[in-house]
Structure 1
Amino acid sequence: MDLVIIGCGSAGVSAAKEALKYTKNVLCVDRSPEWIGGVCLNKGCVPTKHLREGAYLLDKIAFSGSYGFFPLSPSLNLKSAIEGAKTKVIKPTREGIYKFLRSKGVKFLFSQEVEFLNPNTLRVGEKTVTSKYFLVATGSSPSSVGGISADGEFIFDTDTFWEIEKTPKKVVIVGGGVSGVEFAYILSRYGAEEIHLIEIGKTLLPTVENLSSDIVRRLERALKGLKIKVHIQTAVEDIDKNTRRVKLTSGELLEDIDAVILTVGRKPNTYSLGLERIGVSLTQKGHIEVNEKYQTSVENIYAVGDVIETPALAHVASHEAKLAVRNIFENSSKRLDYTSVPSVVYSVYEIGSFGFGEKQLKTQGVEYKTSTVTFRAVAKAISEGEEGLIKVFHTPEGQILGANILSKKHTDSILHLLLLAKKGGLSVNELREIVWAHPTIEEVLELL
């Protein structure tokens, strides 16, 4: 082969499409056909957003009286929603990816056992494959905490959650990061009666470093408004599956718990591949060390996505994969501009960000200004029940350095408009001079 891609997730699929521009001799390797599309499609961002859409619709119905619409006792069913995600979204998307790549000549091999025999040879189950180049894009798996891992019965993680049979009435969510705040909101709307969100750090969303503290506080207030009990600077001391008790380091004992959900981050899938045996360098945490070309310490092996120490986002992995493939076949040194990478958290609010935040700019001693506007400054937002704000951080001359956006439903569109403005060199002043259509949500940018 010219290129063997290990992992058919977001990065692997992107790499395969890009590689077809240079060669037809491409092979994708993964655990099984059910993992095509990776964690994001099958266990992560796609199904959680499907459930979040249901949660949002339920909240939207509460506002529907202003339209003269009065539905009778709407409710959500978790099992039906999960099944809907699997059959209506995940399966057709996965099958579409597979059929498309196969139609273009990409080959596939599936096995639970994949390891390097030498830098040019890979064992895939009972078969061996040789290739000029390899791209490792095997993604990540849920981390455990304090020796506690998911059992799929009482303790779940972000991968095993999708086999849950019904909404647990009393839930403990361990980890107040992105997945934690998303699952807390989802379960609150799908019928959970008591939710405890446990975060060991000083604030929710501790890994989203470019978010302003007022944005995070507003999310915390909204979660508490849904009767979610947020425990900050607290950890789990013990989980007793037999008595269904969870003891916290604060001394509080949570009883009659129906489910514990671990959302404490992810670890790279690198240890079973035989990488160190063939000379590929790993960090202490198991990430693959790469240079500016995404090339490992073995010159014909490259790595992208969650297996390297860059933002663990599907869209980051996809773009890294495209650049790595170009570097392989063009002998170039293309690298992603990580300061322009957007991210969105989908909880009570959609919280989006890119670039540098207030804390980072202050730490770096950068002179900046903040332009802030609320969505309720425009009539269409009020009509839709929208709320939230936009904060744009920029130089005194108006060049955009970063942004934070908090809204119910329009974060993604505003986020990408601001990102395009940054990429195109438009200043905040120039954004204000654009003739925005009225009435729209986007015209809020005229008021920055």
Structure 2
Amino acid sequence: MEFDLVVLGCGSAGTEAVKEALRYTKRILCVDRSPEAVGGTCLNRGCVPAKFLRKGALLSEEVKRASFYGLSASLGETSFAGAVDSVRRSVITPIREGLLKFFKAKGVKLLFSPQVRVLGPNLLEVGGKRVSFRFLLVATGSSPSALPGLVSDGRFVLDTDSLWDLTELPRRLLIVGGGVSGVEFAYSLKLYGAEEVYLVELEKGLLPTAGFPPDAVRRLERALKGLGVKVFTGRSVAEVDAARRRVLLSDGTVLEVDAVLLTVGRRPNTSDLGLEEVGVELDPKGFVKTKKGYRTSVETIFAAGDVLPTPALAHAAEGEARLAVRNAFENRFEELDYDRLPSVVYSYYELGRFGKTETDLRREKVPFEVKLLNFRSVARALAEGEEGLVKVYASPEGRILGAVVLSRKSTDSLLHLLLEAENLGRLKGLVFAHPTVEEVLKNL
């Protein structure tokens, strides 16, 4: 079999690569472990089901606030397993089936096998079948990381994959890792009925590598504690006694738990592909090393998504894949502008940001001003119980260098308005509909 483009992985990066490649050729092959893997981690066991859970958590809070609006309502039993079943039937399966139909309609060839090996700069083997290619895109994604002595067994120790196979939510849950996934699950699982949720983070504060200002992170931490989540920062897991359901922290604290959820990052799926044997360089953590334009050290092989040491975001993976394909077929060297890449954490608050952080700007000695807004004078926010802030870092000329938005439900729209504006002057010229939360930006 011969193809112009072979894509390893049919996830966020892989499916976007296929769509882009259809502009150039019909001879496209997409390879993955199984049909159930199509859509990747984000669709099947990542951001999509996680956001479904958050919606349920928000609804449970809305029910509790019904009297504020003169309504009488009560929340019955919550069902984590019911939510997982709903998201699989109503969201995940239809999207995955839609992707498979799209591939078929466009004439894209699919091969499914857990055995894939690159044999040369224009050759690979999939389940015993030899496949030749003009270009190869490695988009095999990532898997949950473990810790020494703490590896998911699907029962007492869970990760962000095995969590979704539970039929019942643990009553007492320890979440190890206070990064993005940790704070998201701490909120959602607490609202879904976990009686005790413990969140442990090695660093001195939550979200240590996400680039958010300390005041916003502290506000999120206070909100989680207000829900009853017990937060332990500056500590780690020292010992786990699975038989007695006990965990010892580094400061001597003993926690009795029914399960441990690992949210300690992800590792690239690059082992056992034969990449290094054909000359593709990997870094010590297994990430693919690339030159300009997402080219690897082998000119015919490109990489995108979680196999790169770039932000592990589905939209970043899609953007990288589009450009990698374009670069391959047009011999270009384009890359994403990562300073313009938004990222959002969906916990009690939605915390979103893009661009330079305050720390970045001070280190680089870039002159800037801080514009800070809150929602206290925004009628729509008060009416809907919305709360939050907008922090913008701007040059003396008004160019937006970076921004942070904290809110319950409005971060996406506010963040994208700021991204699109690029300059404070453009915002001042806009007429915002009233009453909306977005009109807070007119005060910048």
1:234 is paired with a residue of what secondary structure? coil
Q: How does 1:33-72 map to 2 (within 5 A)?
A: 33-72=35-74
Aligned length: 442
Shift of 1:141: 0.5
CA deviation string 1:307-338 (max 9, x = no partner): 11111111000000000000010111111100
Q: Distance in 1 between matches of 2:352 and 2:62?
A: 20
Distance 2:358 2:88 in 1: 39
Cα shift readout 1:395-445 (whole Å, capped 9, x = no counterpart): 1121100110010001001111111112xxxx2243133211111111111
Q: How does 1:99-118 map to 2 (within 5 A)?
A: 99-118=101-120
Within 5 Å, which residues of 2 pair with 1:157-306? 157-209=159-211, 211-255=212-256, 257-306=257-306
SS of 1:376's equivalent in the other structure is: coil
Residues 18-27 or 429-438, more deviating: 429-438
SS in 2 for 1:438: coil
* Cα RMSD for the two superposed structures: 1.0
Structure 2 match to 1:437 = 433
Contact 1:47–1:85 (Cα < 8 Å) also in 2:
yes
Do the aligned residues in 1 keep the contact of 2:64 with 2:73 (CA within 8 Å)?
Answer: no
Check the 8 A contact 2:63/2:75 in 1, yes or no.
no
Match of 1:363 in 2: 363
User: What's the CA shift string for 1:367-397, capped at 9, x where partnerless?
Assistant: 1111111122210110011001111110112
Instruction: Provide the C-alpha distance between the structure 2 equivalents of 1:99 and 1:399, rounded to a whole number of angstroms.
Output: 44
| Stretches of structure 1 lacking an aligned partner (at least 5 in a row) | none
Q: Amino acid of the residue matched to residue 221 of structure 2?
A: E
The residue identity in structure 2 corresponding to 1:248 is L
Does structure 1 residue 316 correspond to structure 2 residue 281? no
Once the two structures are superposed, what CA deviation does each residue of 1:236-273 show, in whole Å capped at 9, x if it has no partner? 01112111111111111112x11100000000000110
Query: Aligned partners of 1:411 and 1:294: how far apart in 2?
Result: 30
Point out the more displaced range, 4-13 or 61-70: 61-70
Distance 1:90 1:128 in 2: 32
Q: For the Cα contact (< 8 Å) 1:17–1:101, is it kept in 2?
A: no
Q: How does 1:12-31 map to 2 (within 5 A)?
A: 12-31=14-33
Question: How many Å separate the matches in 2 of 1:87 and 1:45?
Answer: 16
Aligned amino acid, residue 5 of structure 1? V
| Residue range with higher mean Cα deviation, 116-125 or 339-348 | 116-125
- Structure 1 residue 66, shift from structure 2 partner: 2.6
Identity of aligned residues (%): 55
- DSSP 3-state at the match of 2:318: helix
Deviations 1:122-155 (A, max 9, x none): 1111211111110000010000112311000111
Output the CA distance in 2 between the equivalents of 1:361 and 1:208.
Answer: 16
Which of 146, 149, 164 does residue 147 from structure 1 map onto? Answer: 149
How far apart are the structure 2 equivalents of 1:34 and 1:240?
35
Q: Distance in 1 between the 2:321 and 2:230 partners? A: 40
Q: How far did 1:275 drift?
A: 0.5
Amino acid at match of 2:351: I
- C-alpha distance in 2, partners of 1:354/1:197? 26
Q: Is the 8 A contact 2:304 2:317 kept in 1?
A: yes
Map 1:362-381 onto structure 2 (within 5 A): 362-381=362-381
Instruction: Report the counterpart of residue 416 of structure 1 in structure 2.
Output: 416
In structure 1, what is the equivalent of residue 401 of structure 2? 401
Higher mean C-alpha displacement, 59-68 vs 159-168: 59-68
SS class of match (2:24) = coil
Amino acid of the structure 2 residue aligned with 1:235: S
CA-to-aligned-CA distance 1:143-173 (integer Å, 9 cap, x gap) = 0112311000111001111001112110100
Q: TM-score, normalised by structure 1?
A: 0.97
Q: Quick one: distance in 2 between partners of 1:388 and 1:146?
A: 39
Match of 1:92 in 2: 94
Give the TM-score normalised by the residue count of structure 2: 0.98
2:90 match: secondary structure = helix
Q: Would the alpha carbon gap of residues 117 and 37 (structure 1) be closer, same or farther in structure 2, given more than 3 Å must change?
A: same
Contact conserved, 2:60 with 2:75, CA < 8 A, in 1? Answer: no
Report if aligned partners of 2:63, 2:74 keep a CA contact under 8 Å in 1: no
1:344-387 superposed Cα distances (whole Å, 9 cap, x missing partner): 00000000000011111111111111111112221011001100
Shift in Å, 1:75 = 4.1
CA distance in 2, matches of 1:385, 1:319: 35
Measured against aligned partners, the alpha-carbon deviations of 1:69-107 in whole angstroms (never above 9, x if no partner) come to 211334421110011111111010011011012101111
**CA distance in structure 2 between the partners assigned to 1:438 and 1:417 by the alignment:** 16
CA distance in 1, matches of 2:56, 2:348: 12
Q: Per the alignment, in what secondary structure is the counterpart of residue 218 of structure 1? A: helix
- The letter for the 1-side match of 2:226 is G
SS at match of 1:131: strand
Q: Distance in 2 between matches of 1:433 and 1:140?
A: 43
Partners of 1:73 and 1:219 lie apart in 2 by: 24
Structure 2: runs of 5 or more not aligned: none
Could you tell me whether the CA contact under 8 Å between 2:64 and 2:75 is conserved in 1? no
Q: 2:64, 2:74 within 8 Å by CA — same for their partners in 1?
A: no
